[in-house]
Structure 1
Amino acid sequence: MKIMWRKIASLFQKEICPYCFEYFHIKDTPFRCTSPPSRCAPAPDAIYQSAWADSRPLGKVLKPSGKFKDRFKQSHRCGSCGHQSRKRLCPHCHSDLPHTTGQFKNYIFAVIGAKEAGKSHYIAVLINQLKKQIGPNMDMLLEPMNDKTIDRYRKDFYNPVYDDGKVIEATHSALADRSIQQPLVYSITFSGKSLLGNERIKKAFVLVFFDTAGEDLNDEDVMSTVNKYIYRSDGIVLLIDPLQLLSVRDQVPNDTALPQKNTESVDILNRTTRLIEKGCELKPTDKIKTPLAIAFSKFDAVLPLIDPQFQLHATANHDKGFDMGDFEAINIEMMSLLDQWNGQDIIHLAQTRYTKHGFFGLSALGCNPHDTSKIPSVIPRRVEDPFLWLLAQNRIIKKVRHK
C-alpha cells in the first residue's frame, strides 16, 4: 500500500527538466515511440525542433489520453506499430527524461565565469577525477545518463585535454549554437555495506552540469533568455581567473603568460544575483539560498604570491565526507588573498546576498597554457573542493572533521 501511495504522490510532485529547466508533473509527460524506423516511420516533432533547432524526424510522440487511470502507467503503446514505449519526454521541450525521473531528485550545478576563466577545463577535469579517483575513494559512482552526454563530454571536453593535450576552444554562445544549451547529465550512486555486510546502493541522484559561454554572462537580457538554469540551480560555481585581477597581474613574475582582459568577475556576480532575485521572485530584503562557491582557477600561475604555510598547499582528504576543517582554513586564506588583491567587493557581495558561500583555490590543468595552447600533462589540484562543498550543502554527502 505504501508503495502504491508513493507512486501516486510522484505523479503530482513538481519535477524539473534537466534540459530546458522548466517544471512539470510526471502525469503530464508524453512518451516517444522507440520502434526501429523500418517498423514505425519517424515524424517531425515541432516542440523539439522549436526548443533545440533540430528538425530531424524522431520517433512518434505518444500523448497521454488524459484519463485518470492512464496517469499511473509507466509506459505507453504506440497506436501505429503497437510497441510499448517507456521513454518519457519533457512536456515543454520533448527531450528524453532520465529513466529515474520521479524516483530521484535532479540536482543542477551551474559553472559560470568570465570568458577564459577555465570553465570548460574545470568540467573536463572534474568529471574525469570524479570517475577515476574521487568517486572510488568515496564509494560514489558517476555515470552518464545518455549517449548525448557520453558523446559531448568525450568530444568537447575529454579528447582535447587528455588525448590531444590542447586547450579547449572557447564555448560558443548559446544564442548562436542551441546545442550548447543541452547540459551534461549524470547519475551519481553511493554504495556501502549493509548491516549483514552485503554491498548495497544507499542513495542515488541525477546531476546536471552546465557550461556557459562567458559572453552569455555579459548581458542581463541574454542571461534571462538562455541561462534560466542559473536561478533554478542547486549550486553555483563561479570561477575567477586570478590573472584577471589588476593587482595580481602587477605582482606575478614577468615571464608569466597573461590572458587578454575580460569581463570583471564582480559584474558577472552582480548580474547573476539579479537574475536569481528576479527568477525566484525574491524581495530586496531576502537572501539567496542557492549555495555559491567562488573558486579561483589557474592557481598554479599565482603560486609565487601564496604563503607556503597556507592550507591551500596541502592535499585534501574527503574520503569519509567533506572535510569542514580543511574548508574553513582555505575559506579564510582565500578571503585574505582576495582582500590583498582588491577584491573586497566580491567578498562583500557574497556575504550580503548569499546565505551559503565559500571561497576556494584550484588548478584544473596544473599549468598555464596561455602562451602555447598546449597542455604537457594534466596535474589537477583541489578541483573537487567546490563540487563536494555543494554536495555537502545539499546534504548529499556528510560534513566531517578529520583530527
Structure 2
Amino acid sequence: MGIFDNIKKSLGGRNKKEHIPPYYDIVCPFCFKKYSPKEVVFRAAHAEEDDEEFFLKEDRLLNEYRSKFNLAPLPDMEAIIEDLDRIPEESKKYADGVLVQIIDKHGIATNKRLCPKCHNELPITAGKFPSNIISIVGASQVGKSVYMTSLIHTLQNFTAYNFDAACLPVSVDVSKKFRESYEEPLYDRGVLFDPTQKEVRQEPLMFQFKFKNENKPPVTLVFFDVAGEGMIDQDYMDIFATHIKNSAGILFLVDPLQIRTIRNKIDIKKGEDSGEFASKYDEPREVIISLFENFIGHQEKGKTDIPTAVVLTKSDMLRILSEDEYIKENSNIFYNVNHKNTFNLTEFENIDGEVKRFLEKVDRAFTDALEVHFKDRAFFAVSALGSNPIDRRVQGIVSPVRVDEPFLWLLYKLGYIEGSRSK
C-alpha cells in the first residue's frame, strides 16, 4: 500500500465531527526516536525574570545530544513548555492535524516545536506526513561522502526537475555546510574529501524532496556522514542503530575493492603496496554482521523489511574487468539513464539482474547474507564521479552515472512515484 492509499485510509476512518484531522508518527531527524505528535514540547519565545517557569536555563537534553557529536554546549535558553494539557484549546493552533503553535500563560505565541527526546527543533512538516528517512550505510573507504554529495547535487539540479519537484536543504546552516564542505570542493575544485574520522561526529544533513503538486507529501532526506569504521565499531554503531531502525529505506553501498576477488584483478596505482592497500577494506559481510547485531537480529525472524538498495559504487572501475567473464564491455552498468516522470521498470530490471549476477559470481557469501537478512532488496551500480580519480583529484569534470537510480527505486517502493515500462 502506497503513501497516498494510507492518507486516504486515514482520512476515511475519521469521525467527521472530530475537528483534528489525522496525523503521522514523527521520527526525529536528529536523534531518530519515534513518537506521536502529541508528545512534542515547545520552546518559549521569551524569558521572564519574575517567573521561575520562564527563566533562562540550560537545556540539558539538547546539550547531551550535542555532546554526542563533540559540539560545544549552548548557553542558557528559553524555557521548555512540556505540560500542554494545561494550555486551553483556544490557545492552540493546528495545521494538517498537528499542533504547531501554542500561546503560553503570558499570552505570547511560540511555534518552536521540539523533539521531546533531544529538544532539537522539528521540521515544519513533522507529523503532517510520514517521516521517511533514507540511511546510507557501508564500510570504510566505500565512498559514502562522495556518493552523498553527487546524489544531492544530481537531485537538486536534474532529478527534481524530471519529477516536477525541488530538492532543498531544510535550513540555511545545512545549505551553507553542504555547499562549502561538500559541493564546492568536489564540483568546483575536483578535490576528494579526506576519509571521515569516527572521532569527528557530524550532525546529519537534511534535505526535502518536495513535489510541486501540493497533494503529494514531501520526502525528508537525512544523510549521516558516518565514518566507515563505525559500521564495525560496537560503541559507535550504537549511536546510529536507532537511525537505521527507523529508516524508511536503506542505501547499502558496496565498493568493488571490498571484494577480494575484484581486488586481486584490479590494479590501482596509488603508490601504496598491495598489502597496506588491501588492509583498508572491510568485507561487505562484516557490515551485515554489524547491522544484524545492532538492529536486524532484533526483528521478526532476523530479517528487516525496510527496502534496501544494494549499491555497487565506483562502477567506472569495472571496465577493467570487461575482458573477463565477470562483466561485458557494453554492460548497462557503464551507461547513464534518465528516469523522467516515472521510474523506468525496464531499465531497473536490467540493472538489478546484471549487478545481482555479478555479485553472485564474485562474492556469493555476501549475496547469501543479503538474502537471509533483507526481505526487500534490489541491486544497482553507480559512479559518483564518472571516472577514477588520480592522487585524490577528479580528472576532468564530475560526470555521475546512475547515482539517483537507487534513490528513485526507494521512492517507487514507498509509493511516491509510479513505475512504467519502456515502449
Deviation at 1:395, TM superposition (A): 1.2
1:398 alignment counterpart: 418
Deviation at 1:188, TM superposition (A): 1.8
Deviation at 1:24, TM superposition (A): 2.2
Equivalent residue for 2:101, pick from 67, 75, 80 = 75
1:197 alignment counterpart: none
**Are 1:291 and 2:314 counterparts?**
no
Deviation at 1:276, TM superposition (A): 2.4
Contact in 2 for aligned 1:138/1:321 (Cα 8 Å): yes
2:113 alignment counterpart: 88
Superposed CA deviations along residues 257-294 of structure 1, whole A, max 9, x for unmatched, are 7855321111102221332234xx424x3532011111
Q: How many residues in Structure 1 have an aligned counterpart in Structure 2?
A: 382
Deviation at 1:240, TM superposition (A): 1.2
1:320 alignment counterpart: 341
Higher mean displacement: 312-321 or 297-306? 312-321
**Are 1:19 and 2:30 counterparts?**
yes
Contact in 1 for aligned 2:315/2:381 (Cα 8 Å): yes
**Are 1:65 and 2:72 counterparts?**
no
Deviation at 1:3, TM superposition (A): 8.2
Separation in 2, partners of 1:209, 1:245:
25
Separation in 2, partners of 1:77, 1:89:
15
CA separation of 1:70/1:240 partners in 2, compared to 1, >3 Å: closer, same or farther? farther
**Are 1:209 and 2:184 counterparts?**
no
Superposed CA deviations along residues 202-253 of structure 1, whole A, max 9, x for unmatched, are 4323222223210111124431234321111111111111123222122225
Alignment RMSD = 2.7
Separation in 2, partners of 1:335, 1:299:
14
Gaps of 5+ in 1: 193-199
Q: What amino acid is aligned across from residue 272 of structure 1 in structure 2?
A: L
Equivalent residue for 1:383, pick from 388, 403, 409 = 403
2:59 alignment counterpart: 45
Equivalent residue for 1:152, pick from 172, 177, 198 = 177
Matched residue of 2:386: which SS? coil
Contact in 2 for aligned 1:366/1:378 (Cα 8 Å): yes
CA separation of 1:257/1:357 partners in 2, compared to 1, >3 Å: closer, same or farther? farther
Superposed CA deviations along residues 157-216 of structure 1, whole A, max 9, x for unmatched, are 21221233211122232xx344x1x21222222235xxxxxxx55432322222321011
CA separation of 1:50/1:346 partners in 2, compared to 1, >3 Å: closer, same or farther? same
Superposed CA deviations along residues 112-166 of structure 1, whole A, max 9, x for unmatched, are 1111110000010100100101110111211111233223322332122123321
Separation in 1, partners of 2:194, 2:18:
50
Q: Percent identity among equivalent residues?
A: 28
Gaps of 5+ in 2: 1-13, 49-53, 94-99, 322-326
CA separation of 1:41/1:157 partners in 2, compared to 1, >3 Å: closer, same or farther? farther
TM-score when normalising by structure 1 = 0.86
Superposed CA deviations along residues 361-390 of structure 1, whole A, max 9, x for unmatched, are 110012222x41112321100101111111
Separation in 2, partners of 1:158, 1:3:
49
Q: What amino acid is aligned across from residue 310 of structure 2 in structure 1?
A: I
Separation in 1, partners of 2:267, 2:296:
41
